[in-house]
């Protein structure tokens, strides 16, 4: 395996682990909302999810830029949409509009699952092909 292929394989492995962690954080938030956990617990889970997602999206975007990736703009739009939804949840939760949270968590979980299966998979395949 040459150096570019090694770098790309490692980048894909790191991204896979980050997706697992992101889904784990979202599922934990979903479970906490469902069992009506304390507001402070839900708030800190939202904060952890947002921080992790910001860092993860930034690293994916950096990788796409480094590789002059052709689907960068649409892919980044997805990231912006997901972060906006997460921030909306945090603001709604802070304002006490907790009834909005379960539906929004469900929407984000569906969106992110689709994003990983489509746009992130396309990026992983692009790197796997040695770009």
| 54 Rama class: left (phi>0) / alpha (psi -120 to 50) / beta | alpha
Q: Hey, which residues between 36 and 65 contact Fe ion (CB under 5 A)?
A: 60
**Is residue 76 a contact partner of residue 54, using CB atoms and an 8 Å limit?**
no
The residue from 32, 42, 101, 120 that contacts Fe ion (CB under 5 A) is 120
Point out which span in 2-10, 22-30, 85-93, 119-127 binds Fe ion (CB under 5 A).
Answer: 119-127
**Is residue 65 a contact partner of residue 76, using CB atoms and an 8 Å limit?**
no
**Is residue 89 a contact partner of residue 101, using CB atoms and an 8 Å limit?**
yes
- Whose Cβ is closer to Fe ion: residue 8's or residue 60's? 60
Shortest reach from residue 75's CB to Fe ion, in Å: 6
Reduced to 3 states (helix: H, G, I; strand: E, B; else coil), residue 95 is coil
Point out which span in 8-16, 34-42, 64-72, 117-125 binds Fe ion (CB under 5 A).
Answer: 117-125
Q: Does 18 bind Fe ion (CB under 5 A)?
A: no
* Total of residues contacting Fe ion (CB under 5 A): 2
Name the residues that contact Fe ion, by CB under 5 A: 60, 120
């Amino acid at each position: 395996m040459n150096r570019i292929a090694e770098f790309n394989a490692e980048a894909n492995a790191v991204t896979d682990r980050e997706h697992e962690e992101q889904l784990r954080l979202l599922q934990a938030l979903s479970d906490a909302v469902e069992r009506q956990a304390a507001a402070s617990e839900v708030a800190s889970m939202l904060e952890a999810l947002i921080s992790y997602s910001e860092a993860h999206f930034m690293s994916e975007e950096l990788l796409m830029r480094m590789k002059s990736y052709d689907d960068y703009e649409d892919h980044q739009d997805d990231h912006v949409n997901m972060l906006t939804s997460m921030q909306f949840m945090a603001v709604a939760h802070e304002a006490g509009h907790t009834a909005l949270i379960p539906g929004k968590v469900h929407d984000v979980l569906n969106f992110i699952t689709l994003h990983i299966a489509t746009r992130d998979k396309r990026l992983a395949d692009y790197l796997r092909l040695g770009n």
